[in-house]
Structure 1
C-alpha cells in the first residue's frame, strides 16, 4: 500500500495584526499538525513571536512549530540579470531547507502549514518554492492556498483611502523597478523598497501614503505631499531600522492629487503626517 499523502497549507495571515486573520485562515490553522517557520536575525525574533502569538490566540489543540534559519541572500545586486540570478539562487537554497522540513518533520498523512505574511500571491516566494520541490519529485505532497489581508490593503485601510481613483489603474511594483520608470496615468503601490526610491520623485507633484510595520504595535504612518514629507519618512525609516534591526514598509503614490477632498493636508494632521506606534 502506498503512504498516505502529506498535505501542505500555505496560509496568508495578514500584515501583522492577529485580527486580520480570516475565518478561513483560522480553520486552516486548526487542521495543521506542524507549522514551519523560517527566519533570520532580528527580524526572525520579532516575526516568530508574532506568529506564535497568532497561534496561541487561535489554537487550542496540539501542534508543533519547527523553525529553521532562512539562507543568506545577496541584496546588493540591482542590475536586472544579476538581481534575478541572486533571487533564484536564494529560492533554490530555501527550497532545499523546505524540502528537508517536509520530508523529515511531516509524517505521511499529516498536514503542515507555512504562515505567510500578507497574501501568498503577492511578492512572496513560498508558492514558487513548493513548485520547485514538487518538480524534484523527492517527497510527495499536495498543497492548498488560503489568501490573506495584504500589506497593500492594510495600508489603504489605515490611511482611510482607496487604492484606485475613478477610472484609473493601479500599478504594483517593487522599489527596484520604480527606479527604472513607471506607467503614466497610474497610481503606484510600492513594496520591497530598501533604497527609499520615492526620493527620486520629489518635485513631481506626488502625494504619498506610507506605512511601516503595518498592523503591528510598532506601526508608523505618514501621509502628505511627497516634497514635504520625504525627509521625515527617511528619518523615521532610519530610526526604526536602528531600533528594530529591520524594517518592512509599503507606500501608495498619487500624482496631481491634493489630498482627501481636495485638502492640502489629511484631516487632523497639521504637518501632513501621522506617526506611531499605533495599536
Structure 2
C-alpha cells in the first residue's frame, strides 16, 4: 500500500503538472464525504474524473465543533476516527491511494497527520495555498518591507494581536463579526477573500470599521452560491500598512 498526498489548490485550474502526473500513478482517490451535498467533494470528483481515477468515499466522522473546552483533544479524537475509517479502505483495496488536499497540505490541513498514523509509505506534493491566491487577487504582498507575516486562525486572532502581532494572515474564520468586531481592530486594514478561485469567489478590502458589514454580506453570498464557504484575510495595523 502507498498513499500520495496531493495539493490541489482551489480546484482543477490549480492542479500543477507535478500533481497531474502523480494522479496518473494512483489506483483511486480516497476522500471524506462530509454531507450528502458536499461541494468540496464534487470538486475532488471533477479532478479525479479528468484524470480517469476512481473516487472512493468515506463518510467523515462527526466532530465536536461547538468550541469544546479541550479543542486539541476534540481534534485528536476526530483524527483517530478518520484514521480507522481510512485504514479499513486501504486494507480492503490495497494499491496506491491519493488524498486531494484543498490548498496546500502544509497549511491548516491535517491530512499529513492522519496519513502518518496509517503506517504506510507516503509522499506529499504541494499545491497553491489560500494566502498565495489572496495576495494575488488583491495585488499585494503578505508582509511590509522587512517585516514578517504571522499566519494564524480566527480562534487565536485576538490572543495574537494582544501578544503584539500587527500583520496577520487569518484562516478558518467562521464568524467575521467575532473575529473583526473588536474595537481595537476598527482602524486596521483588511484584505479579504472567500471561496477563492471558484465561481462563488468574493473579495473586499478596506478599513475594518468601514468594510466589515460588506464582508459579512459577501461571506453569506459565497455560502449561498456554493453551499460552503472558506475565507481568508490579511489584517494589518495602521502603523504597518506601508
Give the TM-score of the pair, scaled to structure 2.
0.91
Give the alignment's Cα RMSD to 1 decimal.
2.0
Tell me how many residue pairs correspond in the alignment. 239
Rounded to whole Å, the distance in 1 between the matches of 2:36 and 2:213 is 26
1:68 matched to 2:58? The reply is yes
Which residue number in structure 1 is paired with residue 20 of structure 2? 26
Deviation of 1:185 after TM superposition, in Å, equals 5.2
1:55 matches 2:48: yes
How far apart, CA to CA, are the structure 2 residues paired with 1:169 and 1:130? 31
Q: CA offsets, 1:107-136, max 9 Å, x none? A: xxx2110000011111111111112222xx
Offset at residue 50 of structure 1 (A): 1.2
Can you list the C-alpha shifts for 1:244-267, whole angstroms capped at 9, x where unaligned? 4431111111111697xx7xxxxx
3-state SS, counterpart of residue 181 of structure 1: helix
Answer yes or no: is 1:254 the counterpart of 2:239: no
Question: 1:85/1:203 Cα in 2 relative to 1: closer, same or farther (>3 Å)?
Answer: closer
2:143 is aligned, of 145, 157, 164, to 164
Q: Distance in 1 between matches of 2:190 and 2:239?
A: 10
1:216-235 Cα shifts (integer Å, max 9, x gaps): 11111111111110011112
Q: Is the 8 A contact 1:202 1:227 kept in 2?
A: no
What is the alpha-carbon distance in structure 2 between the residues aligned to residue 179 and residue 72 of structure 1? 28
- What is the aligned partner in structure 1 of residue 168 from structure 2? 188
Contact 1:169 1:185 in 2 (8 A): no
**Partner Cα separation in structure 2 for residue 99 and residue 56 of structure 1:** 24
Query: Following the alignment from structure 2 to structure 1, what is the Cα–Cα distance between the partners of residues 33 and 170?
Result: 23
Where structure 2 has 5 or more consecutive residues not aligned to the other structure, the ranges are none
1:199 Cα deviation (Å)?
1.9
Higher helix share: 2
Structure 1 portions without partners, runs of 5+? 1-5, 135-140, 263-279
Name the CA distance, whole Å, in 2 between partners of 1:119 and 1:125.
11
Of 168, 171, 190, the residue aligned with 1:208 is 190
Aligned-residue offset at 1:36: 0.5
| Contact 1:204-1:255 at 8 Å conserved across structures | no
Shift of 1:202: 5.8
Distance in 1, Cα, partners of 2:58 & 2:102:
17
